[in-house]
């Protein structure tokens, strides 16, 4: 990662358990900060009424791809840790995917 890349991670915890989270990888591309990948538990209308964990893959030349990652009772502590490590380790891959996937 470079100074033009950022990972923003946040979570809410109750009783030692993560109840919601967001991991957001952004990169400065063409002089603007762009979404590259985001994993979160935000509710999204009909796609995700319950706040389940999901991933948004963003692309320079096509619409984002949205995928549910969890079921209602999944452990967000585990998902948060796994995805944070994954995004840190694979940041170059996700950025290339953003730039060149058509």
pLDDT at 71: 74
Indicate whether this model's pTM tops 0.85. Answer: yes
Print pLDDT tens along the chain (102 aa): 889 999 999 999 999 999 999 999 999 999 999 999 999 998 876 767 778 899 999 999 999 998 988 777 678 999 999 999 999 999 999 999 999 987
Burial category of 78 from C-beta neighbours within 10 Å (exposed 0-12, middle 13-18, buried 19 and up): exposed
Per-residue pLDDT of 70-83, as tens digits, reads 777 678 999 999 99
Burial category of 22 from C-beta neighbours within 10 Å (exposed 0-12, middle 13-18, buried 19 and up): middle
Question: What is the strand order of the sheet 54-57 is part of?
Answer: 5-14, 17-29, 32-40, 54-57, 65-68
């Amino acid at each position: 990662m470079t100074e033009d890349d950022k990972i923003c991670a946040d979570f809410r915890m109750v009783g030692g358990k993560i109840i919601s989270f967001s991991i957001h990888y952004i990169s400065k591309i063409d002089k603007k900060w762009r979404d590259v990948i985001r994993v979160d538990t935000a509710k999204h209308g009909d796609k995700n009424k319950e706040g389940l964990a999901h991933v948004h893959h963003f692309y320079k030349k096509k619409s984002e791809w949205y995928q549910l990652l969890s079921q209602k009772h999944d452990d967000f502590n585990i998902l948060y840790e796994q995805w944070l490590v994954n995004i840190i380790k694979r940041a170059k891959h996700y950025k290339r995917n953003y730039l060149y996937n058509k």
